[in-house]
């Protein structure tokens, strides 16, 4: 039985955050790989003249650091032990929570379940780590653990061992997740505000052969995308 660390991040997840789209992302690898990959990312930072403590973030992508970020993307694709899945909601304005008797938080947990259900298997163990976003992170973490465990009949929490919040500046693999979901959201917004960010998007598109705007097959194991669309007439489901 293998234990996996799963690093989750999100962007545009709030109901009224002026972001037209939402991306939830999960990057995972078996637990024994975590320390080695973290050390290698720190070494990559140092190689490009950055402090090992530098926090990698999509919002920090700049022309002067483009070569580093390109190398980081290649780092992900060159390591088969690292896998990634994202759930994309292209247009939050089409959400109709009232039609389904739910609020935005309930829908949010449904989306997280949709993201992770393709990853979690009862014959393995999972440790899920989420970036601390706000003062509600602890409550969200407990609720998410309950929802996920119940969904796979893991009532004794032996499959999903933990759902825990962490600080992204301390966790290299969570930082890598931020870059991948940032690129997907950037494409979904049709943004073209940064040459550096456009280069990173193109590198991901080249390495995957994807536009980053359409779902992949559920069996796609390295870079998996699920584009979720609201039911315009009846609500989102």
What residues are paired with 231 via a beta bridge?
235
Write phi, then psi, for 27 (nearest 5 degrees). Answer: -115, 135
Give the whole-angstrom CA distance, residue 176 versus residue 83.
11
Q: How many domains does one find in the chain?
A: 1
Residue 232 counted as domain residue: no
Mean pLDDT of the chain: 89
Give the span between the Cα atoms of 69 and 183, in whole angstroms: 11
Closest residue by Cα to residue 150 from 117, 111, 123 = 117
> Is 237 part of a structural domain of the chain?
no
- pLDDT band for position 237 (50/70/90)? very low
Question: 3-class SS at 223?
Answer: strand
- Do 176 and 27 contact (CB within 8 A), yes or no? yes
199 is a domain residue: yes
Assess if residue 34 is contained within a domain. yes
Tell me if residue 127 falls in helix, strand or coil: strand
Q: Tell me: the pLDDT tens digits for 173-226? A: 999 999 999 999 999 999 888 999 999 999 999 999 999 999 999 899 999 999
Adjacent-strand bridge partners of 3:
125
Q: How confident is the model at residue 103 (pLDDT cuts 50, 70, 90)?
A: confident
Query: Residue 22 belongs to what domain range?
Result: 3-227
Query: For position 228, what pLDDT does the model report?
Result: 87
The whole-model pTM stands at: 0.91
CA distances from 41 to 4, 49, 72 (A): 19, 13, 8
CATH number at residue 59: 3.30.420
Q: Tens digit of pLDDT for each residue in 187-202?
A: 999 988 899 999 999 9
pLDDT in tens, 5-44: 999 999 876 656 667 788 999 999 999 999 999 999 999 9
DSSP code at position 71? H
Side-by-side strand order, sheet with 83-89: 160-166, 125-131, 3-11, 22-30, 83-89, 223-227
Judge whether 234 lies within some domain. Answer: no
**pLDDT over 50 at 171, yes or no:** yes
Compute the distance between CA of residue 28 and CA of residue 84 in angstroms, rounded to an integer.
6
The percentage of the chain sitting over the pLDDT mark of 90, rounded to a whole number, equals 63
Contact between 202 and 70 under an 8 Å Cβ cutoff? The reply is no
Q: Is residue 235 part of a domain?
A: no
CA atoms of 162 and 141, how far apart (whole Å): 9
User: What's the sign of the alpha-carbon dihedral 115, 191, 93, 182?
Assistant: positive
Radius of gyration over alpha carbons of the chain, in Å? 17
Residues comprising the chain, all counted: 237
Helices and strands of the chain, counted as H and E runs = 6, 6
């Amino acid at each position: 039985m293998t234990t996996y660390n799963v690093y989750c991040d999100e962007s545009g997840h709030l109901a009224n955050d002026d972001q037209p789209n939402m991306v939830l992302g999960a990057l995972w690898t078996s637990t024994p790989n975590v320390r080695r990959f973290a050390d290698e990312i720190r070494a990559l930072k140092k190689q490009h003249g950055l402090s090992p403590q530098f926090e990698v973030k999509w919002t920090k992508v700049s022309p002067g650091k483009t070569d580093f970020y390109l190398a980081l993307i290649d780092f992900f694709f060159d390591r088969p032990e690292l896998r990634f899945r994202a759930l994309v909601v292209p247009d939050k304005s089409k959400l109709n929570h009232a039609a389904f008797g739910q609020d935005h938080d309930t829908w949010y947990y449904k989306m997280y379940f949709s993201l992770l259900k393709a990853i979690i298997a009862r014959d393995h163990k999972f440790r899920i780590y989420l970036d601390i976003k706000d003062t509600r992170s602890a409550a969200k973490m407990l609720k998410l653990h309950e929802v996920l465990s119940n969904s796979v009949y893991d009532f004794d929490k032996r499959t999903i061992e933990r759902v825990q919040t962490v600080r992204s500046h301390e966790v290299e693999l969570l930082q890598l997740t931020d870059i991948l979901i940032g690129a997907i959201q950037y494409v979904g917004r049709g943004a073209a505000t940064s040459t550096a960010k456009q280069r990173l998007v193109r590198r991901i598109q080249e390495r995957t052969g994807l536009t980053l705007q359409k779902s992949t097959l559920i069996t796609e194991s390295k870079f998996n995308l699920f584009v979720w669309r609201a039911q315009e007439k009846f609500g989102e489901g």
